[in-house]
Amino acid sequence: MIFVLFCSNLAYNNLSGEIPELLHASLYNYTGNHLNCGPHSMPCEGNINDTGGSRKSTIKVVLGSIGGAIVLVLVAILILRRMPCRRYLCSDVPDEHALSLDLGQTQQFSLHHLMIATGNFSRQKFLGKGSLAKVYRGVLPDQDDKAVAVKRFVKIKNHGRDMAFKREAEVIRVPVHNNILRLIGYCMERKERLLVYPFMENLSLSSKLEGLKPNEPTLDWAKRMKIALGIAHALEYLHDNCNPPIIHRDIKAANVLLNGNFEAVLGDFGLARVMDQGKEIVTTEIQGTVGYMAPEYRSTGKASTKTDVYGYGVLVLEIVTGKGPDFHVNVKHLMQEGKPQEIVDPNLDRAYQREELIKLIKISLFCTQEEADRRPTMSEIVKMLEADVQQYRWGESLWAQLISQPWREQHDQMVIQKLFDLGNAPSPDSQPVSEADRASLGGEEEQARGQCGREGRVAISVSG
């Protein structure tokens, strides 16, 4: 093995003699010694001008360069970590912890695709947020610029986000109904969890009740009736047409979406549960929105289809009043005082059908009874809503307990007066009353007489 000496500095060591061949170097300094450098060597004073400074300078330069490089690397890493994926240069990386999902033929989007659709989840595309997710408006360029709503589940430390994502994705793909939100696709990449839905032009019911913008028209009475019926159909489908039944568990105005025709679409199935086969009750962790939760579920965690019925009752009152769920506790008192008109949303400016108003209030009070067994089913509610005003007669004994005697007397007197006007005092140009009308009105007469009898009052007889 051959060693080559590059630098030799032996200055001022008081050395003498001939320099060995081994110590011959390209850079040397032998000043201050008595050395014999040989006939072919350069002068023994050497070719290094500084006895120590150059070496120290070299070390400083090397250390400075290394330190500078380390600082640059650290700054670059910090910038890259803080900088979002601008201009969509991020590559799609499979999530090594991806959940196992059974979504059939549901379309799977790449994260890159959804970032383009939402402008990299920009603030301008932001629609709203819940406890576990934020929603952004997006456009799918490869699908004729189709407008979509992208639900991006927020990152939390526990498995709550993943479970909510998995539950919503697997549950909501099952029902196929015009009044239930349809899942377009999903994404699971780089620890992201996203669901893609159709965009609803009129946003949510809550935005049209309590979130009205200046000069924005209020929901008219016909639209409110249509919304109440649409959500009733959705819940009836989940409870009676899905096998096993599905419980939504989070019925509220914010989860009722409105399409371009103001048709109600039930969304947000993050808390939904599929009932066990043959069972009517499922015990779960208590989750939901205060004010909409049924008392038995709030106290025990036991949920059933009647849990959704209770939430629907609160929702119906919200449709009528335009106020939040806290207001429903005042409705019974106002009805007992004979003031149903004070319940209605003032934005309607009295433009509503009184008989339909009474119908919705009745349904709401039936649905929000403390005892779950006394609440109607959703199929019964649909029948109530679809029945003609002159035909619906249900829960009269309960209704007699829920409202005050003065208001019932006023209602009964109105029915009797109608009978009197049609049966006893026809105007000269009036049309004859059909047998069907008489039969319908006769039923209301019997209803009025029955209520009077139960209350111990004198029944008024109307002769033909």
pLDDT in tens, 168-224: 888 888 888 999 999 999 998 878 899 999 999 999 999 999 877 788 889 999 999
Mean pLDDT of 229-253: 94
- Helices 328-336 and 354-367 cross at an angle (nearest 10°) of 120
201 vs 229: CA distance, rounded Å: 20
- Confirm whether 100 is domain-assigned: no
SS3 content of the chain, % helix, strand, coil (to 5): 45, 15, 40
Catalytic residues: 250
N residues, the chain: 464
Question: Does 269 share its domain with 366?
Answer: yes
Domain ends where: 161, 178, 198? 198
pLDDT for 85 equals 44
- Confirm whether 181 is domain-assigned: yes
Selected residue with higher pLDDT from 117 and 398: 117
Instruction: Determine the structural domain holding residue 18 and report its residue range.
Output: 7-82
pLDDT for 236 equals 97
Other Cβ atoms closer than 10 A to 204: 21
Would you give the end-to-end CA distance of the chain in angstroms?
133
The count of structural domains within the chain is 4
411 vs 409: CA distance, rounded Å: 5
Residues 289, 278 contacting (CB under 8 angstroms) = no
- Confirm whether 97 is domain-assigned: no
- Confirm whether 94 is domain-assigned: no
Residues 15, 34 contacting (CB under 8 angstroms) = yes
Which residue pairs from 324-333 have beta carbons closer than 8 angstroms and sit at least 24 positions apart in sequence?
324/210, 324/291, 325/252, 325/289, 325/290, 325/291, 325/292, 326/291, 328/291, 328/364, 328/368, 331/361, 331/364, 331/365, 332/365, 332/402
Which amino acid is it at 28?
Y
Residues 335, 344 contacting (CB under 8 angstroms) = no
Q: Looking at the predicted structure, is the pLDDT value of residue 441 above 70?
A: no
Q: Looking at the predicted structure, is the pLDDT value of residue 334 above 90?
A: no
Question: Does 248 share its domain with 323?
Answer: yes
Domain ends where: 360, 380, 403? 403
Question: Does 432 share its domain with 371?
Answer: no
DSSP-derived pairing of the beta strands 246-247 and 273-274: antiparallel
CATH code of the domain covering residue 136: 3.30.200.20
Among 169, 174, 172, smallest CA distance to 153 is for 169
DSSP-derived pairing of the beta strands 16-18 and 264-266: unpaired
Question: Does 331 share its domain with 239?
Answer: yes
Determine what percent of the chain is predicted with pLDDT higher than 90. 33
- Confirm whether 192 is domain-assigned: yes
Selected residue with higher pLDDT from 206 and 63: 206
Mean pLDDT of 412-420: 45
Q: How sure is the predictor about 418, in pLDDT bands with cuts at 50, 70 and 90?
A: very low
Among 285, 290, 289, 258, smallest CA distance to 273 is for 285
Question: Does 246 share its domain with 194?
Answer: no
431 vs 429: CA distance, rounded Å: 7
For 302, half-sphere exposure in the C-beta direction (CA atoms, 13 angstrom radius) is: 8
Question: Does 422 share its domain with 464?
Answer: yes
390 vs 388: CA distance, rounded Å: 5
80 vs 70: CA distance, rounded Å: 16
- Largest Cα separation within the chain, whole Å, is 152
Question: Does 243 share its domain with 185?
Answer: no
Question: Does 164 share its domain with 219?
Answer: no
Question: Does 359 share its domain with 436?
Answer: no
DSSP-derived pairing of the beta strands 34-36 and 16-18: parallel
- Confirm whether 114 is domain-assigned: yes
- Confirm whether 234 is domain-assigned: yes
Question: Does 64 share its domain with 122?
Answer: no
Question: Does 27 share its domain with 68?
Answer: yes
- The stretches of 109-264 forming alpha helices (DSSP H) are 111-117, 160-172, 205-209, 221-236
Q: Looking at the predicted structure, is the pLDDT value of residue 289 above 70?
A: yes
454 vs 462: CA distance, rounded Å: 19
Question: Does 237 share its domain with 153?
Answer: no
Q: How sure is the predictor about 90, in pLDDT bands with cuts at 50, 70 and 90?
A: very low
Average pLDDT value over all residues in the chain: 75
pLDDT for 93 equals 43
CATH code of the domain covering residue 387: 1.10.510.10
Mean pLDDT of 99-124: 86
Residues 6+ apart with CB under 8 A from 114: 138, 150, 187, 194, 196
- Confirm whether 382 is domain-assigned: yes
